[in-house]
């Protein structure tokens, strides 16, 4: 396998961890990273250590700061530069300020093998529109996102023909869930000739990681009864904090709209309706409140019914379980792309067939 150069769009919690994890992986070189205000590009490889140090404080040392409002201005919370002109990637010596950071990456994209879209919590069609921009600029390569919502997959499918013409291999929903757990479900299904149900249940402990993952928490809140993604996007940080407080910092989610359902259906494994996703988020502890588990129940060719189970150790963080798999799918996608396989793929389609 040849070296893979990749860019990360978004240097929030997920984007920063992707850069970090990539330094532990063979064959992956991050060459570009951007956020809303700046971009860092180095085709010989970014200095990830410098970039992370410049843009991230030691949050864990000051968790008390986590409820401070950072709306509308520059603020430093627990040592993290959160917003404003000096915040984010431009704090790195490798970065330059720009109002058009994605265009800056696109301008260099003929030298980039894969682009990781690590932008949570925007409009539903934000990621599809980002993909449009790469396609329009004649990009040929891999796009990978870690989106969660089922409805976005359809929007990407509408673009599949364009991606195929353009030589783009788009892997959607390649984080933890959907992503890691979708792939695990696809493997677990292999005992069966008919899958009756897939039950995905996650636990996340996010005390010290809370500041770093505000976008993810905000998006999770959109899954609570009575909320949707528009509500969640428009809520102030104080309103988000109030919802969390109402639940004493431990929020249980049931029947979430997670794209695991459509991603397993498109791989032919089961109907989307047979997939349920739920979990518990605890922002008061770094311990997981429940063990992340995938249960796949099906019928074997010889008439038995059983449930295969995949469990993640409680010691594996959300960050480990999002970013390792995301980069794993990047490798699989680049291989597909180099072999000339273009279009839209879900994680389960990069597994053995069902």
Region from 80-88, 197-205, 221-229, 334-342 binding a second copy, contact rule CB under 8 A? 334-342
Is 226 near a second copy (CB under 8 A)?
Answer: no
Give the residue with the Cβ less far from a second copy, 90 or 322.
322
Chain centroid to CA 137: 24
Measured between its terminal Cα atoms, the distance across the chain in Å is 26
Active site residue 219: yes
- Residues 157-186 binding a second copy (CB under 8 A) are 180, 183-184
Cβ 284 vs Cβ 207: under 8 Å: yes
- Residues 285-304 binding a second copy (CB under 8 A) are 300-302, 304
Give the residue with the Cβ less far from a second copy, 80 or 327.
327
Q: Which residues are within 8 A (CB) of 191 and not within 5 positions of it... i.e. 6 or more apart?
A: 298, 300, 306, 308
Ordered DSSP codes for 56-100: ---GGG-GGGGG---TTS-EEETTEEEESTT-GGGGSTTEEE-S-
Give the residue with the Cβ less far from a second copy, 290 or 307.
307
Q: How far is the CB of 350 from a second copy (least distance, A)?
A: 6
Give the residue with the Cβ less far from a second copy, 164 or 335.
335
H/E stretch holding 33 reads strand 28-35
Is 187 near a second copy (CB under 8 A)?
Answer: yes
Per-residue binding letters, 23-42, with a second copy (x by CB under 8 A): -xxxx---------------
Cβ 42 vs Cβ 33: under 8 Å: no
How far is residue 130 from each of residues 30, 51, 101, 161, measured CA to CA in Å? 19, 24, 12, 16
Pick the binder of a second copy from 7, 9, 21, 147 (CB under 8 A). 21
Active site residue 223: yes
Region from 21-29, 79-87, 98-106, 128-136 binding a second copy, contact rule CB under 8 A? 21-29
Is 284 near a second copy (CB under 8 A)?
Answer: no
Is 331 near a second copy (CB under 8 A)?
Answer: yes
How far is residue 137 from each of residues 75, 133, 163, 254, measured CA to CA in Å? 36, 6, 12, 40
How far is residue 67 from each of residues 74, 92, 203, 244, 284, measured CA to CA in Å? 15, 26, 22, 11, 12
Please pick, among 211, 219, 265, 349, the residue that the annotation labels catalytic: 219
Is 96 near a second copy (CB under 8 A)?
Answer: no
Active site residue 85: no
Q: How far is the CB of 321 from a second copy (least distance, A)?
A: 5
Pick the binder of a second copy from 216, 329, 343, 344 (CB under 8 A). 329
Is 133 near a second copy (CB under 8 A)?
Answer: no
Q: How far is the CB of 184 from a second copy (least distance, A)?
A: 5
- Number of amino acids touching a second copy (CB under 8 A): 59
The position carrying tokens 């969640």 is: 232
Is 311 near a second copy (CB under 8 A)?
Answer: yes
The position carrying tokens 């407080």 is: 245
Collapsing DSSP to helix, strand or coil, 112 comes out as: coil
Q: How far is the CB of 279 from a second copy (least distance, A)?
A: 16
Ordered DSSP codes for 196-248: EEEEEEEEEE-STTTGGGHHHHHHHHTTSTT--HHHHHHS-HHHHHHHHHHTT
CA distance 252 to 195: 26
Q: What is the DSSP pairing of strand 343-345 with strand 169-171?
A: parallel
Q: How far is the CB of 5 from a second copy (least distance, A)?
A: 15
State the residues that interact with a second copy by CB under 8 A.
Answer: 1, 17, 20-21, 24-27, 180, 183-184, 187-188, 190-194, 268, 300-302, 304-317, 319-321, 323-325, 327-332, 335-336, 339-341, 347, 350-354
- Catalytic positions are 148, 219, 223
């Amino acid at each position: 396998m040849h070296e893979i150069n990749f860019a990360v769009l978004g240097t929030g919690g997920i984007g920063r961890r992707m850069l970090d994890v990539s330094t532990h992986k063979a064959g992956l070189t991050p060459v570009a990273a951007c956020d809303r205000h700046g971009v860092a590009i180095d085709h010989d490889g970014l200095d990830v250590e410098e970039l992370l140090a410049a843009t991230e404080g030691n949050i864990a040392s000051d968790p008390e700061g986590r409820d401070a409002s950072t709306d509308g201005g520059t603020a430093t919370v627990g040592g993290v530069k959160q917003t404003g002109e000096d915040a984010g990637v431009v704090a790195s010596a490798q970065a330059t300020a720009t109002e058009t950071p994605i265009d800056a990456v696109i301008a260099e994209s003929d030298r980039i093998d894969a682009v990781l879209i690590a932008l949570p919590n925007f409009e539903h069609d934000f990621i599809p529109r980002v993909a449009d921009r790469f396609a329009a600029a004649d990009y040929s390569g891999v796009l990978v996102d870690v989106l969660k919502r089922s409805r976005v997959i359809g929007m990407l499918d509408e673009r599949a023909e364009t991606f195929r013409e353009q030589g783009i291999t788009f892997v959607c929903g390649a984080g933890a869930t959907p992503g890691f757990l979708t792939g695990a479900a696809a493997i677990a299904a292999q005992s069966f000739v008919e899958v009756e149900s897939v039950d995905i249940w996650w636990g996340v402990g996010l005390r010290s990681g809370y500041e770093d993952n505000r976008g993810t928490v905000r998006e999770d809140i959109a899954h609570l009864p009575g909320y949707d993604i528009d509500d969640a996007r428009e809520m102030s940080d104080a309103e988000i904090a109030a919802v969390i407080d109402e639940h004493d910092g431990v929020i249980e989610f049931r029947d979430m709209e997670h794209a695991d359902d459509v991603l397993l259906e498109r791989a032919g494994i089961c109907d989307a309706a047979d997939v349920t996703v739920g979990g518990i988020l605890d922002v008061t502890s770094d311990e997981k409140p429940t063990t992340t588990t995938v249960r796949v129940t099906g019928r074997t060719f010889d008439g038995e019914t059983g449930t295969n189970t995949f469990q993640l150790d409680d010691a594996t963080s959300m960050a480990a379980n999002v970013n390792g798999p995301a980069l794993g799918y990047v490798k699989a996608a680049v291989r597909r792309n180099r072999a000339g396989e273009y279009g839209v793929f879900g994680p389960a389609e990069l597994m053995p067939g069902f």
